[in-house]
Amino acid sequence: MTTAPTSTVRWDAVSAPHGTAALRHTHWLDATPRAVDGAPGEWWAEDGRVHGRGLPETGTVDLEPFTGVREADLLLKAFARTGSLALRVYDPENPDRLALRGIEAYPRDDAWAIAGRFVAAEDGAQETILSVDGHERTVAATGSIELTVAGEPVHLTVSADGEGFSAVIADASAADGAYRFRFLPIAAPTVDGAVTVDFNDAYLPPCAFSDQYVCPLPPPENRLAAAVTAGEKRAIRD
């Protein structure tokens, strides 16, 4: 094992003062202004934006989804999900961030780069995505990748992600201390559908670093019976 992340860029994105591990609060808002834990002023949602007032340094703010403002040492960002709005508070003093020491990863093993074939979903097909907080949303289905993992046939449900795909996977490595699920980027297939699924690229979801994220869970077909000993394994904390 190694405690080194896949790259310095990855580690910086997780551990920076306002990085992934700094998320201390996610406050879902309605149209009534109210005080929230961890942030100054009062906050509410209206007209598709997050509004704040009474901030000591910035006074009044009006944030579109996924934009933010600095207030003292905090980063305050608007977050949106299926019509609902939230305020996210990134705090360098978040205990989850201060305790973080590294990311444990499996040594690269080319045997985990497995050939497969992409099968597009039928026109109009939909799928339901369940998040860690119990929220469900229905989206257009992308398709699946057929491959064999540890001798067993697998139909891995994927989502479109840029020019390629992404998948949320779980596997038996959780019994050995790995985080309960991981994200997996997958390069685009060739014109005939051939694709390589490289499990060495599997990485920890944001909710492995803070319980304030609302990550999607793996669908049943993406819960593999084998232990996938490739990619990132777990966050290391004091």
Residue-wise pLDDT tens digits, 96-150: 999 999 999 999 999 999 999 999 999 999 999 999 999 999 999 999 999 999 9
Among 114, 162, 165, which Cα is nearest to 141's?
165
Greatest Cα pair distance in the chain: 60
Tokens 């149209």, residue located: 31
Q: Is the separation of the CB atoms in 43 and 60 below 8 Å?
A: no
Residue-wise pLDDT tens digits, 68-106: 999 999 999 999 999 999 999 999 999 999 999 999 999
Among 67, 71, 79, 68, which Cα is nearest to 54's?
71
Quick one: pLDDT band at residue 7, thresholds 50, 70, 90? confident
Quick one: pLDDT band at residue 1, thresholds 50, 70, 90? very low
Tokens 């309960």, residue located: 180
What token pair was written down for 199? 């499990």
Helix (H) or strand (E) run with residue 13 in it: helix 8-15
Tokens 């685009």, residue located: 188
Residue-wise pLDDT tens digits, 160-172: 999 999 999 999 9
202: phi then psi, degrees, rounded to nearest 5: -60, 135
Coil, helix or strand at residue 21: helix
Tokens 């992409």, residue located: 118
Domain ranges of the chain: 18-91, 101-237
